[in-house]
Amino acid sequence: MRQLPLISTGVFLDPTSWVHLDWILLVVAAWLLIGVAGVFALHRLALVARVLFPAGGAFGLLLFGVALSAILSSPEVAVLPFGLPGLPFHFRLDSLSAFFLMIIGGVAAGVSAFAAGYFRKGEGTPPGLLALEYHIFLASMVLVVLADDAYAFMVMWETMALSSFFLVTANHRIAEIQRAGYLYLLIAHVGALGILLCFGILQADTGDYTFANMRSQEILPDRASIAFLLALFGFGAKAGIVPLHVWLPEAHPAAPSPVSALMSGVMLKTAIYGLLRIIFDLLGTPVWWWSLVLLAFGLATALFGVVFAAVQVDMKRLLAYSSIENIGLLFTGIGLAVLFSTQGMPVMAALALTAVLYHVASHAFFKGLLFIGTGAVLHATLERNLGKLGGLIRSMPWVAWAMLIGVLASAGLPPFGGFVSEWLLLQSFLFSPDLPSSFLNMLIPVVAALIALVAALAGYTMVKFFGVIFLGQPREEKLAQAHDAGRWERAGMAWLVAGCIALGLFPVQFIALIDPVTQLLVGSGLAKTVGSSGWLLAPVAIERASYGPAIFLLGVAASFALAFLLVRLFYHGRVRRAAPWDCGFPWQNARMQDTAEGFGQPIRQIFEPFFRWERELPTAFDAEPRYRVSVTDPFWHWLYLPLAAAVERLARLIGLLQQGRIAVYLLYSFVTLITVLLVVEL
């Protein structure tokens, strides 16, 4: 391990002597300077869009490259003389933090390029101020991942929450956006309290809040379990697990699309990073029942998210619930890794953890791509409602084909990264028949079946998402004026498309990058096993299961080529274009297409208990009653509204103390003083 006393031995004087941590801190400093430059160009949209955001994207690429190199290097630490006296910031770059920094840099590069062509003066916040908030957000996420003490971690965690709050409320004049922003900030701060209390337990009354001290403590199992539950609550609130997910479907539609892409693709993963850091690094040996808690919350979150995504009619709200589903899959994979780790099966724990980290990367790229794609559609049509879209593949072909790649990856179809990660996760379940407990052996197949159900529903949802937006006929006349994405927007989307394809075609090489992380966390990895199979991906043994992305791609290409040749040879010149069969009813129009509501109706019927059905009263005495489905989150009515009412009643009771009389306040002080003296004497 390299010990760096301040920043490094280079101290920014000799770049040839810099180590990885120097370059990463340089990227952070550059992002902060770009944000400050935005303040001096507050309303100069051309400068902000054509200079500042592309520069931020270029430094994102630099971060991506440096982090990629750092994954295979030894850990580096640094102590910066910031913060309070006696509480400097400790930073540490190891394989786990480098992996997540690679994700942050890779996604930030594409989203920043897209943002250069996306932001307008009408976003509600001056462009320069948006650039400041945006780049502080990026810098804070990097420093969260680098933090090596609780003080630095919490300062950067709160900076990340506040900067993202201002980005969510960019169009702050709209009351709905204000409510979404304050809900997000409330849950973020409640979750931060859980993380802070977790760190309080991990430091074991030593007063030393560095992560190095926490690693060296022997914590009793009961206290460790309390710390785990606090971490699950705190990071679960940021990640969006059920029932702490309610902010996510509200904040994502409110935020500008590049911000939604960063929040869903990257910020949610900082919570996954924090949970992995605490469970496998700071807490030491996990307890077996932690895995059951993680599996339960993960499965509930995945199923809940995908069911609600399937019935949404708002583009961004659909993607928000899809992110909840993917977060559920990640928590399920972490739970499985904890289970294998406690049962003395490090190779299987490494397989489950590899699936988690692979899905972290895959979801970051394809969900970032889908969110910025919806931003392009929103700017071209001024519509988020699926019921008012359709046929956009004709007027927006570039966006449509890029979104198709993201949809296929999100649906878990080969040869894209989403398939590899979900396939590895299912292999983790299928290769676990040797658990010592009969209960666990019975539980694992049930969990695997639910994961398969979630994957199938995710594919169903993505078919609806892409088909309703881009296929068929335009449902509104104004869609004829829709325009394709600009050059900067295309560049950002192309980078994320390349990421989705690369993760699908090169799984063996990417698992080699994940191997140092799993070695750090569970003491085992898959690189040797996978590397011995050549271009075939065989997580355990080639005779058990394998997947060849290159072979699959060649098979698909050969099938298309054969079909093309056969058509050219036997049917060339015989094709004629005609209207589709209209069932004898020639007066059809675009409104008669299958709608988003109709597409989701089977899911609403199957999962009817998930939703609230409300009857709409007739407007006249003899009119027929009409019914509408209110797809509202039941947790609002089961948990949050009763909790808000209880808090309001408690606030009224406490408000009785506010008498407005100085004599009463002096009496409160006197009673408090007497009580404290009595307690001290006792």
Name the phi and psi angles at 64, rounded to 5: -60, -45
Query: Is residue 615 within a helix (H) or strand (E), and if so which, with residue range?
Result: strand 612-616
Average pLDDT over all residues of the chain: 85
User: Any idea which residue has 């770049």 for tokens?
Assistant: 15
Among residues 372, 363, 319, which one has the least CA distance to residue 493?
372
The predicted model scores a pTM of 0.90
Q: Supply 616's token pair.
A: 């709409």
User: Hey, what are 511's tokens?
Assistant: 């698992």
Return the number of other C-beta atoms located less than 10 Å from residue 301's C-beta.
Answer: 28
Query: In this predicted model, which residue has the larger pLDDT, 545 or 496?
Result: 496
Q: What is the DSSP code string of 86-109?
A: TEEEEEEE-HHHHHHHHHHHHHHH
425: left (phi over 0), alpha (psi -120 to 50) or beta: alpha
CB 661 within 8 A of CB 338: no
Summarised one tens digit per residue, pLDDT across range 606-624 is: 777 777 665 555 555 555 6
State how far the Cα of 55 lies from the Cα of 47, in Å rounded to an integer.
11
**Half-sphere exposure (Cβ direction) of 248: Cα atoms closer than 13 Å:** 32
Q: For residue 545, what pLDDT is reported?
A: 67
**96 vs 645, more confident:** 96
Angle, to 10 degrees, between the axis of helix 417-430 and the axis of helix 346-381? 150
- The whole-number average pLDDT for the span 50-76 is 93
Question: Is 128 in contact with 56 (CB distance < 8 Å)?
Answer: no
Which amino acid makes up residue 239?
A
Rg (CA), the chain: 27
Model pLDDT for residues 506-515, shown as the tens digit of each residue: 888 899 899 9
> If you average pLDDT over residues 522-538, what whole number do you get?
77
Average pLDDT over residues 175-201: 91
Residue 657 has pLDDT above 80, yes or no: no
Q: Is the pLDDT of residue 159 over 90?
A: yes
- Answer yes or no: is pLDDT of 329 > 50: yes
8 A C-beta contact, residue 408 and residue 460: no
Confidence of residue 533 (pLDDT cuts 50, 70, 90): low
Strand partners, 456: none
Residue 293 C-alpha from the chain's centroid: 21
